[in-house]
């Protein structure tokens, strides 16, 4: 059995608004959760935290696009 994933917090600021989420990495996949939803993707050539911030930014922008 593998080690339990370490859950980390992160914040991205978009248009002056801070958005918070948590992420963890398991089996080379970054899992992100936030109040706006969740997303996952394979770990690429960048640190997992950067990948998680990108995922959170995508959720924020998708939500913003849905409200306009």
Q: How far apart are CA 56 and CA 50, in angstroms?
A: 10
Report how far residue 49's alpha carbon sits from residue 24's, in angstroms, rounded to the nearest whole number.
Answer: 9
pLDDT in tens, 13-27: 999 999 999 999 999
DSSP state of 48: H
What's the pTM value of the predicted model, to 2 decimals? 0.88
pLDDT digits (tens, 9 = 90+) for 49-65: 999 999 999 999 998 78
Q: What distance in Å separates the CA atoms of residue 5 and residue 62, rounded to the nearest whole number?
A: 27
* DSSP helix/strand/coil, 5: coil
Distance in angstroms (rounded) separating the CA atoms of residues 9 and 65: 25
């Amino acid at each position: 059995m593998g080690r339990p994933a370490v859950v980390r917090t992160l914040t991205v600021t978009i248009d002056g608004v801070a958005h918070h989420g948590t992420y963890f990495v398991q089996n080379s996949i970054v899992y992100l959760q936030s109040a706006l939803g969740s997303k996952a993707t394979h770990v690429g050539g960048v640190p997992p935290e950067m990948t998680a911030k990108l995922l959170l930014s995508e959720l924020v922008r998708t939500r913003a696009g849905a409200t306009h």
